[in-house]
Amino acid sequence: MSFQLSDEQRAIREAVRDFGANEIRPVAREHDEEKKYPEDLIEQAAEYDLIAPGIEEEYGGAGMDLLSSVLVTEELWRADPGIGSAIGSRGFGTSMIGKFGDDWMKEEWLPKVAAGEIATCSCISEPAHGSNVAGIETSAEKDGDEWVIDGNKTWITNGTVADLAVVMAKTDPGAGHRGMSAFLVPTDVEGFEPTKIDNKLGIRASDLAEIMLDDVRIPEGNVIGEVDQGFYQLMNFFADGRTSVAAQAVGAAQAAVDESIDYAGEREQGGQVIGEYQAIQHKIAEMATNVEAARSLTYRAASHVENGDEQEAAKFASMAKLFASERSVEVADEGIQVHGGAGYVTDPPAERLYRDARITKIYEGTSEIQKNIISDQLL
């Protein structure tokens, strides 16, 4: 199946690529080494419509379809996965607000996100519950005209920089996945306590935190969608999220190919540049082929998600996430091999890309979980 980008999509890709080359790449190493959140780039990214590009135009967003958003993600990660993650995750949780939130939620918060004025986070994972979303233990109990939320969330992207959180909690603890609800929680409320996680292997420019929710009180009107329907609402975005991670993996892998090609054309050994040796040529050929295959599968997944076929979307999104993430780590590893000893130190980006690519095999459902999903669709 061939995917022909529209003129508008090609323009989006080129604009993000230029932004990445001119603004992100020159500061990527600095942000990685200092574990620094790229606050200085957020305003510029917003001007390019790169902050939560799926937010509808009526709320100040770009209103991009999933394939266009995938192009944005891919190019941001191609420029640098850490900064790309920070920019690309700036609006985590806004899809839930946009699809199921009340009008006042959309009108109050979405324009601020799209403009880069605030960040959001999505609080789902817990210390004992990652891939098993239905097993979360954070609870929300009704007390008069308020909800009281208690629990512990972890691996929360934007946890210490977010102004607003979408928190998943059990409103009927005995009902399993049928008793989960989504809540809109401003992060400045009493009892919302984030703690930064800064000892990550990769994507160090992206913020990560553990969050304690201790007697957090919010108005009863802050339920997003319907009470006890949070899990079913969340299911609407699984395929989108996995397709986006596939795009991240493609971007990181393409960067590894780019760096390897550049290095092979500069590094001399035995009286010639190493790119003239067949062994190196074959490595780069295989790397590029794997990236292109992952890209095609990712674009196909985006197409199925957009077409609304839930079974095909679930299958292809998991296939894309599985294949792209696994190949991304392999390609980044080969990139280090092309660089030789230079790839094992921090001077070129090769080792950073290897560290950054590794996360794509874990979040939004591990590779093992994706295999379960794919087999469920086939058998």
Write out the DSSP string of 18-71: HHIIIIIGGGHHHHHHHT---HHHHHHHHHTT-SSTTS-GGGTS----HHHHHH
Q: Are strands 208-219 and 146-157 parallel, antiparallel or unpaired?
A: antiparallel
Q: What angle do CA 240, 352, 210 make, to 5 degrees?
A: 55
Give the burial class of 272: count Cβ atoms within 10 A of its Cβ; 0-12 exposed, 13-18 middle, 19 or more buried.
exposed
Candidate list 126, 259, 351, 364, residue with the active-site label: 364
Could you tell me if 122 and 209 are in contact, meaning their C-beta atoms sit under 8 angstroms apart? no
Euclidean distance between CA atoms 118 and 91, whole angstroms: 9
Could you tell me if 100 and 182 are in contact, meaning their C-beta atoms sit under 8 angstroms apart? yes
Residue 284 tokens read as: 């780069």
DSSP code for 118: -
Reference 97, options 244, 237, 207; nearest CA is 237
For residue 186, the cross-strand partners are 164
For residue 146, the cross-strand partners are 143, 219
Could you tell me if 98 and 49 are in contact, meaning their C-beta atoms sit under 8 angstroms apart? no
Q: Are strands 223-224 and 164-170 parallel, antiparallel or unpaired?
A: unpaired
Q: Is 58 a catalytic residue?
A: no
Sign of CA dihedral 369, 231, 317, 103: negative
Could you tell me if 336 and 350 are in contact, meaning their C-beta atoms sit under 8 angstroms apart? yes
Q: Which stretches within 57-170 are classed as H helix?
A: 66-79, 81-88, 94-100, 103-114
Active site residues: 364
